[in-house]
Structure 1
């Protein structure tokens, strides 16, 4: 029985990156061999075991055979006769198809180290085309390693295009799409994920609502980049730069979906796009089964981001409706993620990446002022039923009007 460190751990060691998790391949063993040593079986489709002390994953060397379309269309074969080279051959990219022996020897049958040095993301074999998830993984690695100068090999991009044309991508299940998409969104540079998908045609199949934004013009006075799709990616880059979490980045990605439904005769203007976008956001979140926190923030940012940008121009009553629409008086924790997403949108414009966003500070103060008005004084004064709610609303509007009168206006917003 021989044990090898494989995959991402070997790759990251060679890149000088922190190794966060280790995966191992066991050659020349049967499941009962590992169980006798105290390893706990956890694999459903093929034999994977957890080490009794480290709890790291140990998989028996295996081969796979395509039996149907999509991610689940495979038959796996694991036996003591399967070699390390055969196991590595089934992996996606050459940089993930290396192994280290106990003595530190590098086993690299598919030139992964050379591709690391050349900063190249290249598929191991034509078997790459058998699993559509690999397109998403390729795009995710493009995002992760973009700061190091990695690029997708032309032959790998061509293979991805053929997979899309053959309809293989259409077999992707929502859970796997969301798993890879959410991981890509959390990379330091998430934008290359979407560029790779668009370049090979997969974005139109996986996220058609986003793909439709490219080529939709924007008013250059507000959007020097001139294109809604490009603005969306610029805003996404800003959400990462500002430290946004997954719900914030997801909301920024979807905030302008409504612009794809603007009649071309009114371009480059997009009146009421925020209203038209909400059903698209809700449908996309439902299709991908996005977590509730992601769904809720995406819907709110889509619906209210323009009002946030125009915060200094709103009437006090409209300002209160914005705070109520965000449900801040019950869910105060929504305020900061919403403001961060709006700031990313405002900064996601060519040449305006460092522009200030004074609306955030003003809206924080508006919420503080409005939230300070509670029902208790009116209850104590003898108000009943609707009278209480109406009195609270009047007092909040009065407090917001006072804030607007006294608040120092920024020179530009």
Structure 2
């Protein structure tokens, strides 16, 4: 940070956004982003910054890796979160730049002396734990519905609440049709961040109360209308996520818990629609499809035969992905109130036996028979050691 003079024009740099917010909350900022007031692209390049912004001037300090964006204004010109015309010039003030941001707590700046610039009451909202929009221009960007839901999840331990007037605007966006303009990649990006936040069920719940879940993910939203034993499956999903996140830190396990009730055969069509629409990573999609197959196959008892045990582990793909066994039982133990713990030990033993299993193939075995031969020997090995 600092003040530089170019042709008698003062360039000022301010730390902004999440870095200032997190510092004030006692958190370690993940990224330091800066706004540059009173400069131009040519001046930034002369200072040695590297331009990376495609739609507006953003520069990287090659020594620190921090981002520096020229102060800018945005004018809505079309639908969606990309439907803006960006205006930047030396005349745009810091306050004008902060005005285009989503929440007051994200519109606090800090100058080179550490002085906080807070034109929209962000410091007060931080103190009172309020997620509040800056202006009615909030509704111009539909992505903000997902961002606010994600912030509520990320800041859950600080007990932030969404201001009623902000929730009202989120609901207006949800019924406007603009949510449908958000790319599936951006939806997954916000969802993924919420999965890493520690309380992803808050993300889901907030989207539901803002009427966005029925648009973003109608398959999960539908679960709230399905009742089993006087409890809807949506609420059960939230509870399952909470329990799973308390024993597992992986986003994959938590996401499996999120769509757990869609794994049932009754919801196969909804599950396939969901995973084909949302741009989740390929490996996660494969894991979901693996769990979908195993969900129908699995029984929570010790009556499995060696044949069943081997088939189940093969379907679960544990010989290539050993963590699948742990993920599967973490979720099933919770759903079945720990009645699967003994079964989990059994399958862990089967897996250990098969992992250590070695076999020399006799020369008289035809190549076409090798697969069945090895399988039969594995079944005999399980039988001899566990049955």
TM-score, scaled relative to structure 2: 0.91
Among candidates 276, 279, 282, match of residue 286 of structure 1? 276
The answer to whether structure 1 residue 347 and structure 2 residue 323 are counterparts is: no
For residue 312 of structure 1, give the secondary structure of its aligned residue in structure 2.
Answer: coil
**Structure 1 residues 44 and 145, CA, compared in 2 at 3 Å: closer, same or farther?**
same
Q: Is the 8 A contact 2:300 2:339 kept in 1?
A: no
Among candidates 229, 235, 240, match of residue 234 of structure 2? 229
The answer to whether structure 1 residue 19 and structure 2 residue 9 are counterparts is: no
Q: Is the 8 A contact 1:140 1:184 kept in 2?
A: yes
The answer to whether structure 1 residue 299 and structure 2 residue 289 are counterparts is: yes
Q: Cα deviation per residue 1:116-159 (whole Å; 9 max; x = unaligned)?
A: 11111111111111111111110001101111111111111111
Among candidates 335, 338, 345, match of residue 361 of structure 1? 345
For residue 380 of structure 1, give the secondary structure of its aligned residue in structure 2.
Answer: coil
The answer to whether structure 1 residue 5 and structure 2 residue 10 are counterparts is: no
After TM superposition, give the deviation of residue 58 of structure 1 in Å: 0.3
How many residues align? The count is: 377
Structure 1: stretches of 5+ with no match in the other structure: 259-272, 406-413
Match of 1:251 in 2: 256
The answer to whether structure 1 residue 66 and structure 2 residue 84 are counterparts is: no
Q: Give the CA RMSD over aligned residues.
A: 2.1
After TM superposition, give the deviation of residue 282 of structure 1 in Å: 3.7
Among candidates 142, 151, 155, match of residue 132 of structure 1? 142
After TM superposition, give the deviation of residue 168 of structure 1 in Å: 1.3
Q: Is the 8 A contact 1:24 1:57 kept in 2?
A: yes
Q: Cα deviation per residue 1:226-279 (whole Å; 9 max; x = unaligned)?
A: 322122222222332223422222222122215xxxxxxxxxxxxxx2x45455
**Structure 1 residues 87 and 338, CA, compared in 2 at 3 Å: closer, same or farther?**
farther
Among candidates 178, 194, 203, match of residue 168 of structure 1? 178
Superposition map of 1:264-343 within 5 A: 273=264, 275-305=265-295, 307-308=297-298, 310=300, 312-329=302-319, 331=320, 334-343=321-330
For residue 64 of structure 1, give the secondary structure of its aligned residue in structure 2.
Answer: strand
Rounded Cα–Cα distance in structure 2 between residues aligned with 1:252 and 1:243: 11
Among candidates 364, 374, 384, match of residue 382 of structure 1? 364
After TM superposition, give the deviation of residue 345 of structure 1 in Å: 4.3
Rounded Cα–Cα distance in structure 1 between residues aligned with 2:293 and 2:182: 30
After TM superposition, give the deviation of residue 33 of structure 1 in Å: 1.1
After TM superposition, give the deviation of residue 3 of structure 1 in Å: 0.5
Rounded Cα–Cα distance in structure 1 between residues aligned with 2:289 and 2:269: 9
After TM superposition, give the deviation of residue 180 of structure 1 in Å: 0.6
For residue 56 of structure 2, give the secondary structure of its aligned residue in structure 1.
Answer: coil
Superposition map of 1:18-97 within 5 A: 18-97=28-107
TM-score, scaled relative to structure 1: 0.86
Q: Cα deviation per residue 1:62-117 (whole Å; 9 max; x = unaligned)?
A: 00011111121110001011111110010011110100011111101111111111
**Structure 1 residues 155 and 113, CA, compared in 2 at 3 Å: closer, same or farther?**
same
After TM superposition, give the deviation of residue 213 of structure 1 in Å: 0.9
